[in-house]
Amino acid sequence: MTTPVLQAKDLTKRYGRVVAIDGSDLELYPGEILAVIGDNGAGKSSLIKALSGALIPDRGEILLDGSPVHFRSPMDARQAGIETVYQTLAVAPGLDIADNLFLGREERRSGVLGSVFRMLDRKHMRSEAARHMSELGVATLQNIGQAVESLSGGQRQAVAVARSAAFGSKVVILDEPTAALGVKEGNRVLQLIRDVRDRGLPVILISHNMPHVFEVADRIHIQRLGRRVAVITPKTHSMSEAVAIMTGAAAPPENPA
């Protein structure tokens, strides 16, 4: 069996007496879209935060390509190749598309201009940004120097996904990427997620939207009461079965994973 790209074993996180994650496991395999679903309070965002370095678990371990990693901040996870797109905080609205793509990892000009005058290589960043956007088939954006706030919700999400795909070398985590979008834009973002996978990057997709989950996910991780209760696939289970397992109305299948 292949080694998971990203694996969580027995992760636990408590806040006082509240248990957010209770010995949860997770496996993400190469080239797949793994959806994580669960009711409110099931611990899916805490689980994701632990994987993206935004939260330090009390117990358990995280393996990246089979070797243990310890993230102390979101920066650690990014440097290890895990890019996360957060639901509402994906972009800086006042900056343009290219600036947003390179935010926090700007490239400077070579020579004295870069080393002494700290001048940014705007030309290169713009052409790179344009390349990344067109590679992902985001053709609606003609002007890479356009401020992000002048874009629609779906286009903003596309910028955020493009950023994670451009810089994530191992894993892309998307937290509710279609939550605030209309039907048409939601579908476009789903296509973008497939494109990211088809380029070889495995994706973890957190979503409440069952039709979206069943449309793109290869496997579905169901989180309930702080732990993983089942892993199903859209082929073997129906949406209503998934919801039943998620809410505890139905017993999970015998063999998770």
Partner 1 sequence: MATTTADFEVKSHDSFGLRLQHLLHGNPVLGPLAVLLVAIIAFSIVNGRFFSAANLSLVLLQVTVIATLALGQTLIILTAGIDLSAGAIAVFSSILMALFCTDAGLPGPIALLLGLACGTVMGAINGALVTRIKLPPFIVTLGTLTIFFSLNSVVSNSETVRGTDMPGLMTWTGESIPIGSFRLSYGSIIMLLLFGFFAYALSSTAWGKHVYATGDDVEAARLAGIRTGRVLFSVYTVAGLLYAVAGWILIGRLASASPNVGTEYNLDSITAVVLGGTSLFGGRGGVIGTLIGALIVGVFRNGLQLSGVEVVWQGFAIGLLVLIAVSLDQWIRKVKT
Interaction residues for partner 1, span 68-97 (CB under 8 A):
74-75, 78, 84, 86, 89-95
> In whole angstroms, what is the distance from residue 122 CA to residue 97 CA?
12
Q: Pick one of 3, 61, 70, 105: the residue that binds partner 1 (CB under 8 A).
A: 105
Question: Under DSSP, is residue 19 helix (H, G, I), strand (E, B) or coil?
Answer: strand
| 106 touches partner 1 by CB under 8 A | yes
> In whole angstroms, what is the distance from residue 135 CA to residue 163 CA?
12
| 111 touches partner 1 by CB under 8 A | no
Name which of 104 and 248 has its Cβ closer to partner 1: 104
> In whole angstroms, what is the distance from residue 78 CA to residue 251 CA?
37
CB of 94 to partner 1, least distance (A): 4
Write the CA distances from 72 to 32, 75, 77, 90, 256, integer angstroms. 26, 8, 8, 21, 30
Number of C-beta neighbours around residue 85 at 10 A: 23
Question: Which residue bears the tokens 């493009």?
Answer: 162
| 222 touches partner 1 by CB under 8 A | no
CB of 77 to partner 1, least distance (A): 10
How many residues touch partner 1 under the rule CB under 8 A: the total is: 29
CB of 84 to partner 1, least distance (A): 8
Q: Pick one of 14, 122, 124, 170: the residue that binds partner 1 (CB under 8 A).
A: 122
Q: Pick one of 27, 99, 176, 185: the residue that binds partner 1 (CB under 8 A).
A: 99
Q: Pick one of 69, 120, 166, 244: the residue that binds partner 1 (CB under 8 A).
A: 120
| 152 touches partner 1 by CB under 8 A | yes
Residues 180, 193, 244, CA angle at the centre, nearest 5°? 65
Name which of 43 and 53 has its Cβ closer to partner 1: 53
Please, which contacts does 76-80 make with residues 24 or more away whose CB atoms are closer than 8 Å? 77/51, 77/52, 77/53, 78/53, 78/167, 80/170
Rounded to an integer, what is the distance from CA 250 to the centroid of its chain?
28
Name which of 184 and 235 has its Cβ closer to partner 1: 184
Segment contacting partner 1 by CB under 8 A, of 14-22, 115-123, 180-188, 193-201: 115-123
Rounded to an integer, what is the distance from CA 165 to the centroid of its chain?
10
Name which of 73 and 236 has its Cβ closer to partner 1: 73
Judge contact between 5 and 28, C-beta under 8 A. Answer: yes
| 119 touches partner 1 by CB under 8 A | yes
Binding site for partner 1 (CB under 8 A): 54, 74-75, 78, 84, 86, 89-95, 99, 103-106, 108, 117-120, 122, 147, 149-152
